[in-house]
A = this chain, B = another copy of it.
Amino acid sequence: MAESWLDIAAESDFSLINIPFGIITYAGASAPRVAVAIGDKVLDLAIFSANKGFSGLPAIQPYLHVFHEPTLNAFAALGRPIHRQVREYLQKVFAKDGPYRHLLQDNQELRNTSFTDLTAVQTYLPMHIGDYTDFYVGKHHAYNVGVLFRGPSNALQPNYTHLPVGYHGRASSVVVSGTPVRRPWGQILNAEKAPIYHPSKRLDIELELGAFVCKGNRLGAPVPLTQAEDYLFGYVLLNDWSARDVQAWEYVPLGPFNAKNFASTVSAWVVLADALEPFRAEGIPNESQVQSYLKSDVKKAMFDINLEVSLQPSGTASGTVISRSNGRNLLWSFPQMVTHHTVGGCPMNVGDLLGSGTISGPESGTEGSLLELTNGGSKPFDVGGVKRTFLEDGDEVVLRGWCKNTNGQRLGFGECRGQILEAWKDGVASE
Tell me the A residues contacting B by CB distance below 8 Å: 130-131, 136, 157, 159, 162-163, 165-173, 175, 179, 181-182, 184-187, 195-197, 200, 218-222, 224, 243, 246, 249-259, 261-263, 291-293, 340-341, 343-349, 352, 421, 424, 427-429
Looking at the complex, which one of B219, B243, B251, B421 makes contact with A173 (CB distance below 8 Å)?
B219
Task: Determine the residue in chain B with the shortest Cβ distance to A196.
Answer: B291
Question: Do B254 and A255 have beta carbons less than 8 Å apart?
Answer: yes
Question: Do B131 and A171 have beta carbons less than 8 Å apart?
Answer: yes
| Dominant secondary structure of chain A at its interface with chain B | loop
Question: Do B157 and A253 have beta carbons less than 8 Å apart?
Answer: yes
Task: Determine the residue in chain B with the shortest Cβ distance to A344.
Answer: B184
Question: Do B250 and A163 have beta carbons less than 8 Å apart?
Answer: yes
CA distance A292 to B196 in the complex (A): 9
CA distance A160 to B245 in the complex (A): 16
Task: Determine the residue in chain B with the shortest Cβ distance to A347.
Answer: B172
Question: Do A258 and B219 have beta carbons less than 8 Å apart?
Answer: no
Specify which chain B residues have a CB less than 8 angstroms from the CB of A159 in the assembled complex.
Answer: 187, 195, 249-250, 252
Specify which chain B residues have a CB less than 8 angstroms from the CB of A348 in the assembled complex.
Answer: 172
Looking at the complex, which one of B130, B243, B429 makes contact with A222 (CB distance below 8 Å)?
B429
Write the nearest CB–CB distance from A215 to chain B, whole angstroms.
13
Question: Do A293 and B197 have beta carbons less than 8 Å apart?
Answer: yes
Question: Do A258 and B292 have beta carbons less than 8 Å apart?
Answer: no
Question: Do B258 and A341 have beta carbons less than 8 Å apart?
Answer: yes
Task: Determine the residue in chain B with the shortest Cβ distance to A256.
Answer: B254
Looking at the complex, which one of B187, B291, B429 makes contact with A197 (CB distance below 8 Å)?
B291
